Amino acid sequence: MVILSKATSFFNGVPLIDLSKPDSMNLIVKACEEFGFFKVVNHDVPMEFISKLESEAIKFFSSPLPEKLKAGPADPFGYGNKQIGKKGDIGWVEYILVSTNSEFNYQKFASISSLNPENIRAAVNDYVTEVQKMACEVLEMLAEGLKIHQRNVFSKLLMDEKSDSVFRVNHYASCSEIDEFNGNNVIGFGEHTDPQIISVLRSNNTSGLQILLKDGDWMSVPPDENSFFVNVGDSLQVMTNGRFKSVKHRVLANSVKSRLSMIYFGGPPLSEKIAPLPSLMEGEDSSLYKEFTWFEYKKSAYKTRLADNRLILFEKIAAS
């Protein structure tokens, strides 16, 4: 298990976007250019949906390990414990990964005596519907801020009935449960970027999330259980021809409390071609990336380790 030296500095410069304010469009564009990351308030996601889903998640993760293992392995959907992906990445985390398709089969979770699969389905569907709506609002504001004629150029990919969006719940045990702790930071989820278009994160009031700044420093993000954090994904970086940056981030299990995070990953249909939008290029030869389908990129992402730069395989400069 990877252990890092103690770090206590917090990054208080997280861009704050109030979706109820008229100037939020320009602020979102600036945040995506400078950080690829920002916090959203006045998001209109009902607190009852958040609380309901969190309650179901806590019930699941509080269950005995043998019962939880029956809901796995995550192939890719289901329950996973410590092993992240197929390339040897390990973290102090257990998680649930499901499809956002309303018809997704939750019978894997029927093994948990304290849970009703239909209750989980209803909680996930209610929550994802509202978070997806917010994500689409953000993406449409980004398109407008970039002066793209088609305002739904990004959001339509999430709304497509074949959208390959997924939902993940991560649970990080408190450091008091880690024998190796001894005052250092233990990696909960290793450094990575998200391959999809956009990610929307909500966590309980427990620290651990860090983002990588341009100067190479890792900075901790103050937790806020009443807000959402939004990440630019690799696919959005490509579609904006590198104008928006997919932020590298990680999670440290460095708190005396357990951490529960819920992440909506907004992805396009598997057959969708991902390439820089013509309106964001100065000419045909100014594209920084080769065109690829989301299926191709997703497949390549699963073959790499978390910290690898997956986009380098599709950069035109790297190929020349």
Q: Which of 169, 146, 106 lies closest to 239 in space, CA to CA?
A: 146
The single residue of 243, 259, 305, 310 carrying the catalytic annotation is 259
Give the Cα separation of 287 and 311 in Å (integer).
14
Tell me the C-alpha distance between 302 and 81, whole Å. 17
- Determine the angle formed by the axes of helices 47-61 and 117-145, rounding to 10 degrees: 130
User: Is the distance from CB of 11 to CB of 35 less than 8 angstroms?
Assistant: no
Alpha carbon distance 12, 255 (integer Å): 18
Torsion angle, alpha carbons of 70, 113, 98, 263, to 10: -120
168 is catalytic: no
Distance CA 250, CA 191 (A): 4
Half-sphere exposure of 284 (CA within 13 A, CB side): 0
Strand arrangement, sheet containing 249-252: 3-4, 185-192, 249-252, 209-212, 218-220
**Residues designated catalytic:** 259
